[in-house]
Amino acid sequence: MSETNFDFDLIVIGAGYGGFDAAKHASENGLSVAIIESRDMGGTCVNRGCVPSKALLAASGKVRELADAEHLSAFGIHAAPVRFERKKIAEHATNLVANIRSNLTKTLERAGVEILRGIGRFEGPQRIGLREANGVDRMVTAKDVIIATGSEPFVPPGIETDGRTVFTSDEAVNLEWLPRWIAIIGSGYIGLEFADVYTALGCEVTLIEALERVMPTFDPDIAKIAGRNLIQGRDIDAKSGVLASKVLPGCPVRIELSDMKTRDLIEELEVDAVLVATGRVPSSSGLNLESLGVKTNRGYIPIDDEMRVLVDGKPLPHLWAVGDVTGKLMLAHTAAAQGTVAVDNLLGKNRKIDYRSIPAATFTHPEISSVGLSEIEAKELAEKNKFELGIVRSYFKANSKALAELDSDGLMKLLFRKDNGEVLGAHIYGLHAADLIQEVANALARRLSVDDLAKEVHTHPTLSEVVEVAYKQASIQLQKPSKV
């Protein structure tokens, strides 16, 4: 029981990564905490996102590796034709989900967090209505409330889903069947990861992208080299500038494709299945936020850098929001970081979040990763703040470890200030890019200079030397102070 007249010091709505980290951190700091969850403990990441998708990628990645006779024979290895069981691969993912969900739930229980099952909504600033699955409705109160209700898949108008032949990532992670021919709508990270899984398991993929180029959210140079491998090099037919204007589930699934600009019908396809990977929308509509005066932006809850919910630009006391529902870098580790920052602030610790240093990764084979500014953003900043932008490229082809693996198609692009050497951003495609980016993210968080970073010794032979080479090249380009 809280020391005040409230039932709890803190109520967290939503037990995804954002809510989990917030609740655990608050409880560890002595607060009485309840967490409300309407669906599965662990939210999107554990049940329908990071965890099952990475399990599928791990298994299908092994199939890809063993089936690549040309690559293996270059090592002098000749394997028998690879066989796999779809059901066992799917079970690997569901077992992992169950395991991680159970561990996470136990962790919260051990930390003393009270888990309340049901749908939460606001009945006042510090008052939450809880509708339980059996229809019982009750009120719980807390001094502070953190909204961590996350997001759900966005299905554009014209597309009808049935969960079996036309589905989103929510169902794709179950890998219930392997369509011979699947169309994937959207070439963001979710579309690319599933294209990686499906092609490894022998499916033919048509990738449909509405914007002008495939992989529009990635650095153009990285997209070019990655696309050469991950799309052109595989059984994928990629179409860009094309809108899937109508999709009707069934056997076959019928798709109407229109020109994105003119909206004229250009092609009709009949495929076995469609995965809709067209982004995600915030889950905030049922929260009754209007009653608090909170105006969302297309469903996203406005917050300041301390995670306080804003009304007309001003923070509302005792109300916080974290994770996908805030629309900032919609990733599990962002949600978790925001969760602990919100709790530290409600404990009076005055913390902010540095979004620029949060890395992102796509777990294709090989991986893609990035941190910090894009080249366009860095150029704009350079113009505004009147400094010269430095750009260097470091190639995996020159890396002994990548060469030993016979997997040396890869590129790292580093963006930095030429006047003081500050790292502004990095974009990587290549073996273990998701691990490599962390080193740059840590440097970026500390606003370190490439001059200092270039002096740090890296293990040989490792892929981390790709990053070392980039730092060294960049440090040579630094503007030397003119001699007087």
Q: Contact between 195 and ligand FAD (CB under 6 A)?
A: no
Q: Nearer to ligand FAD by C-beta: 169 or 394?
A: 169
What's the CA gap between 170 and 426, in Å, rounded? 31
Q: Cβ 52 to ligand FAD, closest distance in Å?
A: 8
Point out which span in 143-151, 178-186, 365-373, 455-463 binds ligand FAD (CB under 6 A).
143-151
The one among 97, 148, 253, 368 contacting ligand FAD by CB under 6 A: 148
Q: How many residues bind ligand FAD (CB under 6 A)?
A: 39
Locate all alpha helices (DSSP H) within 111-210, ordered by sequence: 169-172, 189-200
- Largest Cα separation within the chain, whole Å, is 80
> Which of these ranges, 50-58, 107-115, 204-212, 437-445, lies near ligand FAD under the rule CB under 6 A?
50-58
The angle, 0 to 180 degrees and rounded to 10, between the axes of the packed helices 86-110 and 50-67 is: 150
By CB under 6 A, the residues from 276 to 335 that bind ligand FAD are 283, 286-287, 323-324, 330-333, 335
In this complex, which beta carbon is closest to ligand FAD, that of residue 188 or of residue 252?
188
Comparing CB distances to ligand FAD, the nearer of 57 and 391 is 57
Write out the binding residues for ligand FAD, residues 338-367 only, by CB under 6 A.
363
Residue 370 Cβ vs ligand FAD, minimum distance, rounded to whole Å: 13
Judged by beta carbon, residue 297 or residue 479, the one nearer ligand FAD is: 297
Q: Is the Cβ of residue 283 or residue 370 nearer to ligand FAD in the bound state?
A: 283
By CB under 6 A, is residue 373 in contact with ligand FAD? no
Contact residue for ligand FAD among 45, 89, 226, 415 (CB under 6 A)? 45
Token pair of 263 as six digits: 């909206």
Q: Is residue 258 at the binding interface for ligand FAD, with CB under 6 A as the rule? A: no
Token code pair at residue 376? 């366009």
Reduced to 3 DSSP states, what percent helix, strand and coil does the chain have, rounded to the nearest 5? Answer: 35, 30, 35
Q: Identify the residue whose tokens are 């719980």.
A: 140
Which one, of 407, 419, 343, lies nearest residue 381 by Cα? Answer: 419
| Active site residue ranges | 460
Nearest distance in Å: CB 151, ligand FAD: 5
Residue 407 lies near ligand FAD (rule: CB under 6 A): no
C-alpha distances (whole Å) from 171 to each of 155, 166, 325 are 13, 9, 21
Q: Angle formed by the axes of helices 86-110 and 17-28, to 10°?
A: 30
> How far is residue 18's CA from residue 32's CA, in Å, rounded to a whole number?
18
Minimum CB separation from ligand FAD for residue 308, in Å? 17
Rounded to whole angstroms, what are the CA distances from 257 to 24, 183, 188? 47, 11, 19
Is 171 among the residues that bind ligand FAD (CB under 6 A)?
no
Q: Which two tokens stand for residue 391?
A: 């750009």
Instruction: Give min distance, CB of 80 to ligand FAD, in A.
Output: 32
- Give the single-character DSSP code of 459: -
Q: To the nearest whole angstrom, how small is the minimum distance from the Cβ of residue 462 to ligand FAD?
A: 23
User: What is the radius of gyration, based on Cα positions, of the chain?
Assistant: 24
Give the residue with the Cβ less far from ligand FAD, 11 or 257: 11
Pick from 407, 423, 404, 400: which is nearest to 470 by CA?
423
Length, in residues, of the chain = 484
Residue 254 burial by Cβ neighbours in a 10 Å radius (0-12, 13-18, 19+):
middle
Give just the sign of the alpha carbon dihedral 130, 49, 205, 221: positive
- Provide the token pair at 187: 């070439």
Question: Is residue 13 close enough to count as binding ligand FAD by CB under 6 A?
Answer: yes
Position among 53, 141, 165, 278 found at the interface with ligand FAD (CB under 6 A): 53
- Backbone dihedral angles phi then psi of residue 395, each to the nearest 5 degrees: -105, 140
Nearer to ligand FAD, 49 or 425 (CB): 49
43 binds ligand FAD (CB under 6 A): yes
In the complex, minimum distance from the CB of residue 330 to ligand FAD, in angstroms, rounded to a whole number? 5
| Best CA proximity match to 206, nearest among 228, 219, 187 | 187
Q: Judged by CB under 6 A, which stretch of 7-15, 94-102, 134-142, 220-228 contacts ligand FAD? A: 7-15
**To the nearest whole angstrom, how small is the minimum distance from the Cβ of residue 147 to ligand FAD?**
9
Binding site for ligand FAD (CB under 6 A): 13-19, 36-40, 43-45, 48-50, 53-54, 119-120, 148-151, 169, 190, 283, 286-287, 323-324, 330-333, 335, 363
